Amino acid sequence: MTESVQVDDNPLALERQVCFALAVANRSVLRIYRRLLDPLGLTHPQYLVMLALWEAAPMAVKDIGATLQLDSATLSPLLKRLEVNGFIERRRRGDDERNVDVDLTDAGRALREQALMIPGAVVAELGVELAELEELHGVLTRVNAAALHAEASRD
């Protein structure tokens, strides 16, 4: 007769894995964002770029990448699509052709007004108290910082 191992006693139980909880939560939350962002003509990664620009436009491409922790191979297609959609414009710096600045167009600035409803709608869709989401945000921010630190110390 095989003995079943309790989840609490099993370090490999799926339900105990942080990576599993994060992966499922990521998919679930991004599904909500996808539905809310679609009418704005944005994907979630494009929305993140726009959030950064709404805070601090114009920004250098390298600064957007650093802010969003995205490499240029991932960021470049996002910027290209946002430019094609008329939300941003990219300009090479006159003093250094290697550097590219990204700025909002009038349409990109106007899109911010429509996007103001996104955070509240996400909270409402999740059905979780705002305080809980703020606590989760704080924990995830610490986890991300710890993971970056661990990665940097390995290099």
Q: What confidence tens digit (pLDDT) does each residue in 23-61 have?
A: 999 999 999 999 999 999 999 999 999 999 999 999 999
What is the per-residue pLDDT for 3? 56
Task: Indicate whether 8 pLDDT > 90.
Answer: no
Task: Indicate whether 5 pLDDT > 60.
Answer: no
Is the pTM higher than 0.75?
A: yes
List of E strands, the chain: 59-60, 88-92, 100-104
**pLDDT tens digits for 87-132?**
999 999 777 778 899 999 999 999 999 999 999 999 999 999 999 9
State the DSSP H helix or E strand holding residue 80, giving kind and residue range, or none if neither. Answer: helix 72-84
Q: How many CA atoms does the CB half-sphere of 113 hold within 13 Å?
A: 4
| CATH numbers and ranges of domains, the chain | 11-148 (1.10.10.10)
